Amino acid sequence: MSKQTYKVCFCFRRRFKLAVAEAPEEIKALFGQYSENGLMTVDHLRRFLLEVQKQDKATIEEAQAIFDHLHELKHLNIFHRKGLNLEAFFKYLFGDANLLIDVNRGVHHDMTAPVSHYFIYTGHNSYLTGNQLSSDCSDVPIINALQRGVRVIELDIWPNSTKDNVDVLHGRTLTTPVELIKCLRSIKEHAFSASEYPVVITLEDHLTPDLQAKVAEMITQTFGDILFSPGSECLKEFPSPESLKKRIIISTKPPKEYLEAKEIKERENDLQSGKAAPDEEAWGQEIPDLKGHIQTDDKNELDGDNNDDEDLPEGDNKSQHFVAPQYKHLIAIHAGKPKGGIEECLKVDPDKVRRLSLSEQQLEKAAETHGKEIVRFTQQNILRVYPKGIRVDSSNYNPVIGWMHGAQMVAFNMQGYGRSLWLMHGMFRANGGCGYVKKPDFLLKSGPHGEVFNPRAKLPVKTTLKVKVYMGEGWRNDFHRTHFDAFSPPDFYARVGIAGVPADIIMKKTKTLEDNWIPVWNEEFEFPLTVPELALLRIEVHEYDLSEKDDFGGQTCLPVSELRRGIRAVPLHDHKGEQYKSVKLLMRFDFV
């Protein structure tokens, strides 16, 4: 046998040798501190919960419930009738009863404030199965989004090929359509499968008045009593998520032809009453030419929200006066961009609330000069931010830019994946995963002289998050034995950091541990936070590869505001955000 062959055989043999998880020294020391004669009693465990896990309200009953759960695992020979041994204690620390976020906490934010006081889990082009140019349109991604807890579904509605019905598709692209009625029925069936809080349907409307009337009929018949319809007038203040439980809300721009007809009627009244002098030339210009005004600007269409700027749909003037009000009465959240610059867009009307949409680029540009005005606008009104048009691969952008300015609807392509989407998943793990997260008070309140939060201000450190990465396990169960390396165990390292306001953004990295399916890093990091309310903890594990791109080994993203102190199990997720069955990290958290 040659030397080279011997080396390969040695690695091959080593690859299948799986080490038994052994508790880090710090865990062993803590067990010694909270046990007697090698056993941890219920009283010991309760003291551990109070003192190490900082669970101030931990009871004997809670400690007993942990015991009872572990007792069910007695076939693993880790339970003693008088208490837990080290292995049982270690099993508890890595188990689902000790997760970093308390999954049993449920909804715990005040849900009685106006909807504008919440960040809302928002989808963009919710019907697309893949890229923005050629993927299929379907109700399946809509169902998937609703099951994940997404609360805002966007539908682009267009006349079908025969102009007698309504399809959902990304206009002027090669995307194949899906019937609107199919999407509406799927929304009704799945709207409240993950959360009972309201679902908003944002419509990008490219229809004739007759088809708008058809949509009004479809929506009314499909949703019936669960549809929230306040009438044709704009709301003075948005209702609360609590008051809108299990309701469907429609948001779109009111039909222009209805508004213009209303303006003409008002002008007629003014003329009859002598309030205004007739101006034949101006009068003629006010009556809209409604033929052939469908927008042909492909770039605007790709920007995804051109409904706020669209020209009038085709149709004859008479029919508009009759059918538009039916459609308009369904609109609970009125959208639209006022004519003029960003100042006009951000004007706050004390008598009515509305929704404004900006692309990610428009927001970034506006934030440079009008950051405080955006925050003031979003205290009462809704701001929706959507991906720029060149994201044809359905990628996303940094959502924190929108959130730090108070934007409620930071719209994302949910069918893709990547770090930006992981942040979105992380934010909406807050508040029981209900899809509504109460905005921090500093984004909702004005000072005594009308001053508001300045997103560009340099702020002092408010708190410091201390994180210790002990170890990880579970890859051997969830990945094929040759997934990372054909001839040896993986070489894992962890990345831990913060996503948030610019001053808080940072990523740190552990050392790489070679040839180990169960890496034990025992490394500690500190993260000073100026705006912890908007901070997200980012965790990733990768496998170092000398010759190629490092392999992905899992990720998670969690709101700092939801983290539990103490030693916690942290489940990791795959690229698309689905949780692995076994892969977890053991970590310790504290705020100083």
- Taking residue 583's Cβ as centre, other Cβ atoms within 10 Å add up to 23
Q: Which residues are catalytic, by number? A: 124, 170
Contact indicator for 418, 491 with CB cutoff of 8 Å: no
- Taking residue 547's Cβ as centre, other Cβ atoms within 10 Å add up to 4
Long-range contacts of 289-293 (CB under 8 A, 24+ apart): 290/257, 290/314, 290/315, 290/316, 290/317, 290/320
**Closest-CA residue to 490 (of 521, 522, 514, 472):** 514
Distance in angstroms (rounded) separating the CA atoms of residues 19 and 463: 39
Q: How far is CA 73 from the centre of its chain?
A: 36
- Taking residue 316's Cβ as centre, other Cβ atoms within 10 Å add up to 11
Contact indicator for 26, 470 with CB cutoff of 8 Å: yes
Contact indicator for 127, 142 with CB cutoff of 8 Å: yes
**Closest-CA residue to 503 (of 470, 527, 478):** 527
**Closest-CA residue to 134 (of 309, 305, 302):** 302
Contact indicator for 166, 211 with CB cutoff of 8 Å: yes
**Closest-CA residue to 422 (of 570, 541, 537):** 537
The residue assigned the tokens 């299990």 is 246
Distance in angstroms (rounded) separating the CA atoms of residues 239 and 436: 14
Handedness of CA 253, 254, 258, 263 (dihedral sign): negative
- Taking residue 110's Cβ as centre, other Cβ atoms within 10 Å add up to 12
HEC profile of 346-383: CCCCCCCCCEEEEEHHHHHHHHHHHHHHHHHHHCCCEE
Strands (E), 49-89: 79-80, 83-84
Instruction: Tell me the two tokens of residue 155.
Output: 């539908």
**Closest-CA residue to 312 (of 207, 412, 409):** 207
Handedness of CA 397, 439, 528, 53 (dihedral sign): negative
Contact indicator for 121, 150 with CB cutoff of 8 Å: yes
Distance in angstroms (rounded) separating the CA atoms of residues 490 and 517: 6
**Quick one: which H or E segment has residue 298?**
helix 298-302
φ/ψ (deg, to 5) at 179: -65, 140
Helix axis angle, 317-328 to 209-223, nearest 10°: 20
Distance in angstroms (rounded) separating the CA atoms of residues 78 and 89: 9
